[in-house]
Amino acid sequence: MQHIIDRFLKYVSFDSQSDASSSTTPSTEKQWEIARYIADELKRIGMQDVSLDDNAYIMASLPSNIDRKVPVVGFISHFDTSPDYTATDVKPQIHKNYDGKDIVLNKEQNIVLSPSYFEDLLLYKGQTLITTDGTTLLGADDKAGITEIVTAMEYLIKHPEIKHGHIRIGFTPDEEIGRGAHKFDVEKFGADWAYTMDGSQVGELEFENFNAAGAVVTIHGKIVHPGYAKGKMVNSMLIATDFIKALPSQEIPQETEGYEGFFHLSDMRGSVEKTTLEYIIRDHDLELFQQRKKQMLDIAEKINKKLGSEAIEVVLKDQYFNMREKVEPEMHIVDIAEEAMKSLNIKPLIKAIRGGTDGSQLSYMGLPCPNIFAGGHNFHGRYEYVPVESMLKASQVIVKIAELTAQKY
């Protein structure tokens, strides 16, 4: 267990936040540091064909140890962390034999991780939890996934008695800003199918995700002296509130669950003369997804018509689509992961992702790619944590998938 703890702690010591405002790949220079470290580590443990390309994508191979050809299976994770919360100077805390009570993350700032609010904590009573100190995110999304893949490969190298086919692994930058698969070379990767290790709770196995788009709503006003504004001033912030109110008030992240979609106002900047609203639009159902985008355009048109001007401009950009369409014809790859979990006494939790994954884009690029749990919880914030036992189980699932694939083909 200490080996996997040490590996994870090393990875989270790197500040590898991505940046959506950047046009480079990787989007931040600091992602190179962890990328180079991981590439060197893969060589040290005995992986073959290790490559780190000009965009910081890492790929490596574990050659087959059987004398017949079987499908090439891949495992993928990302090493960037969310730009939504600071990842500078992460100070992980280890809590052995968790007692099911409140965990004081930061006594000075009175930051507490409590099962009364985060009920999932109680699933891990008696286990070893790694948390933040309450001032940064942890980075289990998705450095837990990288930890699990590297640990599984190291285990297979040390245990040649476990028979497996050719295995490919890949680690990407910029997943958190939706660009993790944009420059992923599927042909070079050469896998018949793959799994992203990027889920949460133990047992999660997912082959459905949101259809996703971003919307930038720009509202133009007119600024004049407020003392002489009658009939002349147009306050863009007030028009923006009309636009916000016109969207369904209950169709927001904090009011939805399961397959329910939403509009999420993620950023707002405004003045009298100009206000910008940034939304993300999500829905599992493609038809409802298209309707949501049209709804935003219709609201803008209606308000513009009322104002008698083109005050509101909406720019929509699709981000990714539900991978179910691409994975469902290849359901045997989900079945193998499910069988692997059951053989390890892990109850599979097959459900739709309320989010996205590199696997969605990769599936549409010709690499069917379901998602498997990595073990972390409360991603992208100060309350993030990961049970060490969950990382161990995820690593065991990877080994078992490799073994089962060799047995079945």
DSSP for 51-96, written as a single string: EE-TT--EEEEE---SSS----EEEEEE--B-TTS--TT---EEES
* CA–CA separation, 341 and 352 (whole Å): 18
Residue 401 identity:
I
Contacts with 50 (C-beta within 8 Å, 6 or more apart), sequence order: 39, 42, 43, 58, 59, 60
pLDDT score at 178: 84
Instruction: Read off the CATH number of the domain in which 296 is found.
Output: 3.30.70.360
Q: Are residues 10 and 65 in the same domain?
A: yes
276 & 197 share domain: no
CA distances for 295 relative to 52, 54, 203, 321, 324, angstroms = 43, 41, 37, 19, 25
The phi, psi pair for 322, rounded to 5°, reads -65, 120
Domain boundary at 258, 285, 320, which?
Answer: 320
Tell which of 268, 297, 320 closes a domain.
320
Q: Which domain covers residue 222, as residue numbers? A: 211-320
Looking at the fold, whether 73 and 181 belong to one and the same domain comes out as: yes
In DSSP notation, 278-318 reads: EEEEEESSHHHHHHHHHHHHHHHHHHHHHHTS--EEEEEEE
Nearest CA to 357 out of 235, 205, 223, 157 is that of: 205
Q: Which of 261, 285, 320 is the last residue of a domain?
A: 320
Same domain membership, residue 129 and residue 154: yes
3-state secondary structure of 222: strand
As a whole number of angstroms, the distance between CA 247 and CA 42 comes to 49
| Whether residue 350 is found in the same domain as residue 395 | yes
Same domain, 200 and 216: no
pLDDT tens digits for range 191-244: 999 999 999 999 999 999 999 999 999 999 999 999 999 999 999 999 999 999
Choosing from 141, 148, 175, 358, the catalytic residue is 175
80 catalytic residue (yes or no): yes
pLDDT at 358: 87
Tally the domains of the chain.
2
In a shared domain, residues 137 and 16: yes
pLDDT digits (tens, 9 = 90+) for 268-302: 999 999 999 999 999 999 999 999 999 999 999 99
Cβ-based burial of 248 (10 A; exposed 0-12, middle 13-18, buried ≥19): exposed
> Which residue in 19, 80, 133, 174 is the catalytic one?
80
Query: Residue 394 is part of a domain; what is its CATH number?
Result: 3.40.630.10
Helix (H) or strand (E) holding 9: helix 2-12
Sign of CA dihedral 173, 179, 183, 186: positive
State how far the Cα of 224 lies from the Cα of 236, in Å rounded to an integer. 12
| Residues 89, 62 share a domain | yes
Nearest to 243 by CA among 312, 318, 320, 163: 312
What would the two tokens of residue 124 be?
């891990």
Q: Is the full-model pTM beyond 0.85?
A: yes
What are the tokens at 317? 């950009």
pLDDT for res 355: 81
Q: What is the pLDDT of residue 327?
A: 95
pLDDT of residue 292: 98
Q: Same structural domain for residues 261 and 345?
A: no
Q: Are residues 294 and 357 in the same domain?
A: no
Using DSSP's 3-state secondary structure scheme, residue 121 falls into helix
Backbone angles phi, psi at 165, to 5 degrees: -85, -170
292 & 344 share domain: no
Quote the Cα angle for 380-381-383, to 5°: 125
Low-confidence ranges of the chain (pLDDT < 50): none
Residues 168, 229, single domain; the answer is no
